[in-house]
Amino acid sequence: MDIRRLDRLALSLTGEVVSRVKPEHVRLATPCPDWTLYGLLRHLVSQNQGFAASACGAGEAWAQWHDGDLGDDPAGAYEASADEVTAAFAEDGVLERRFALPEVGEGFAVPGRVAIGFHLLDYVVHAWDVAVTIGERWEPAGELTDAALCVAARVPDEGRGAGAAFRRRIAFGDDAAPGDRLLTLLGRDPSWTPVPC
C-alpha cells in the first residue's frame, strides 16, 4: 500500500468538498458534536499543520496542533495546509521516522507509516462530515475507502466517547456499503442530517 499516495487522495477528496463551503455554511452543526463547520475546518487546517510539524520532529507541542487560522478564506487555508503536510510527508525516511501525536497521549509516538495512516483515515471521514453538513456528495475512491477501513478496524475501542477523537462503534449490517461501514466503525451515523443553527 502506497500510504503517501493514498493520503494525497484523501487530502484531495477533502479539499474538493471544502472548496464548496459557502460563508453561510460555517455556522452549521456537523456530525462532530463539538464543532460547527467553522470549528471542523479549523481542525482540518490545524491537523495538517500538526502532522507536518511532527513529520519534521517538532510535533510534541500542543500549539502545533491547534493554531490553525482560516482567515477569510477557509478553502485557501485548507489548501495551504494540505500542501504543507504533503511536502512534509514526501521527505526521505519519513515512513520510518517517529511521529509525536500528543492528542493521543503525552509522549505518544508512532512510526511515520502508521501516523500517515491515521491522517488518511481522519481526512477520508472528515470529508464526509463536511459533505453531509453542506448537502454535497461523498464519493471516495474504492481504494481509499479500503485503506481507511483497514486503519479504522485497528482503532481500539478504549477511550472512545464524548470529547474523544472517535465515538463508540455503531453496529452495521453485513450488507452495508463500505463507506457506511467506515463511518459506523468510527461512531458516525450514515443517516445523519444537519440541523440549521
Strand pairing partners for 100? 109
Could you report the per-residue pLDDT of 140-161, keeping only the tens digit for each?
Answer: 999 999 999 999 988 766 655 5
Whole-number pLDDT of residue 169: 74
Q: Which ranges of 19-73 does DSSP label H, i.e. alpha helix? A: 37-55
CB 30 within 8 A of CB 129: yes
Q: Which residues of 73-100 are buried (b: 16+ CB within 10 A; e: fewer)?
A: ebbebbbebbebbbebbeeeebeebebb
Q: Which of 157, 161, 165, 167 is nearest to 188 (CA)?
A: 167
Which residue has cell 456528495? 137
* Intervals of the chain under pLDDT 50: none
Could you report the per-residue pLDDT of 158-192, keeping only the tens digit for each?
Answer: 655 555 556 777 777 778 899 999 999 888 999 99
Query: What separation, in Å, do the N-terminal and C-terminal C-alpha atoms of the chain show?
Result: 41
Q: Which of 29, 59, 65, 25 is nearest to 44 (CA)?
A: 65
Whole-number pLDDT of residue 155: 74
- pTM: predicted TM-score of the whole model, two decimal places: 0.92
